[in-house]
Structure 1
Amino acid sequence: MDRYTKGFVVASLVYFFLAAVLGIWMGGTDTAGWVRFAHVHFNLLGFMSMMIYGVGYFILPRFNGRTLRWPSWVPAHFYAANLGLIGMVATAPERPSMGFVLFAALSVISAGMFAVNLGATMLIEPAQEEEKGESAETTPAPAAQAAAPPSAPPKIDPDMRVGEILARWPDTVEVFVGHGFSSLGNPEHREQVKQLPITLRMACERHNVDLGYMVAELSAAVSPAPPKAAATAAKAPAGKKAKAGALSRGESIGEDHILGEILSAYPETEKVFRKYYGDGCFSCPGQATESVKQSAMMHNVSEKKLLAELNQAAVGGGHSS
Structure 2
Amino acid sequence: MDRYTKGFVVAALVYFFLAALLGIWMGGTDAAGWVRFGHVHFNLLGFMTMMIYGVGYFILPRFNGRPLHWPSLVPIHFYIANIGLIGMVATAPERPSTGFILFSALSVVSAGMFAVNLGATMLIEPSSAEETSSSSSVASATEGKPIGASSSAPAGASEDKSEDKTEGAVPSATTPQAAQKVDPDMRVGEILTRWPQTVDVFVGHGFASLASPEHREQVKQIPITLRMACQRHNVDLDYMMSELNEAISPSFAAKATSAATEGGLAGKAKAKSPKGKLAKGETIGADHILGEILGAYPETEKVFRKYYGDGCFSCPGQATESVKQSAMMHNVSEKQLLTELNHAAGF
Write the distance in 2 (CA, Å) between the matches of 1:111 and 1:297: 25
| 2:43 corresponds to 1:106 | yes
RMSD: 4.8
Tell me what 2:270 maps to: 238
Correspondence 1:126 to 2:89: no
- 8 Å Cα contact 1:259-1:288 kept in structure 2: yes
After TM superposition, the structure 1 = structure 2 runs for residues 1-321 of structure 1, keeping only pairs within 5 Å, are 98-99=35-36, 102-103=39-40, 105-109=42-46, 110-122=48-60, 126-127=67-68, 150=172, 151-152=174-175, 153=178, 154-187=180-213, 189-194=215-220, 196-223=222-249, 225-226=250-251, 229=254, 237-238=269-270, 240-242=272-274, 244-299=275-330, 301-302=331-332, 305-306=333-334, 308-317=335-344
Report how far residue 214 of structure 1 moved: 2.8
Distance 1:212 1:312, change over 3 A: same
TM-score (norm 2): 0.48
Change (3 A) 1:146 1:250: farther
CA positional deviation for 1:261: 0.9
Kept after mapping to 1: 8 A contact 2:289/2:323 = yes
2:230–2:236 contact (8 Å) kept in structure 1 = yes
SS in 2 for 1:238: helix
Distance 1:120 1:206, change over 3 A: closer
Q: Write the distance in 1 (CA, Å) between the matches of 2:209 and 2:239.
A: 20
Residue 43 of structure 2 aligns with an amino acid whose one-letter code is L
Partner Cα separation in structure 2 for residue 208 and residue 105 of structure 1:
41
Cα distance in structure 1, aligned partners of 2:45 and 2:290: 37
Q: List per-residue Cα deviations over 1:83-133 (Å, max 9, x = no partner).
A: 99xx9xxxxxxx9685466245423332332232112333599359989xx
Determine the C-alpha separation between the residues in 2 that align with 1:294 and 1:317. 20
Q: Provide closer, same or farther for how the CA distance between residues 292 and 316 of structure 1 changes in structure 2, counting only shifts above 3 A.
A: closer
1:229/1:100 CA distance change after superposition, 3 Å: closer
Alignment check: 8 A CA contact 1:268 1:313 kept: no
What 5-or-longer segments of structure 1 have no aligned partner? 1-68, 88-94, 138-144
Q: Distance in 2 between matches of 1:270 and 1:209?
A: 26
Asked if structure 2 preserves the Cα contact closer than 8 Å seen for 1:249 and 1:319, the reply is no
Give the Cα–Cα distance (whole angstroms) in 1 for the partners of residues 253 and 55 of structure 2: 49
Alignment partner, residue 92 of structure 1: none
Choose 150-159 or 113-122, whichever is displaced more: 150-159
Identity, % of aligned pairs?
Answer: 53
TM-score (norm 1): 0.51
In the aligned structure 2, how far is the partner of 1:111 from the partner of 1:252?
45
Aligned residues: 223
Structure 2: stretches of 5+ with no match in the other structure? 24-31, 73-126, 133-147, 151-170
Deviation of the 1:281 alpha carbon: 0.8
Tell me: CA distance 1:208–1:274, structure 2 relative to 1, closer, same or farther (3 Å).
Answer: same
Q: Is the 8 A contact 1:253 1:310 kept in 2?
A: no
Distance 1:245 1:270 in 2: 22
1:241 is aligned with what amino acid? S
Q: Distance in 1 between matches of 2:322 and 2:149?
A: 41
Partner Cα separation in structure 2 for residue 317 and residue 289 of structure 1: 22
Q: Deviations over 1:244-282 (max 9, x none)?
A: 241123434344322111222233433332233222112
State the one-letter code of the partner of 1:246: K
Alpha carbons of structure 1 residues 126 and 272: separation in structure 2 relative to 1, 3 Å: same
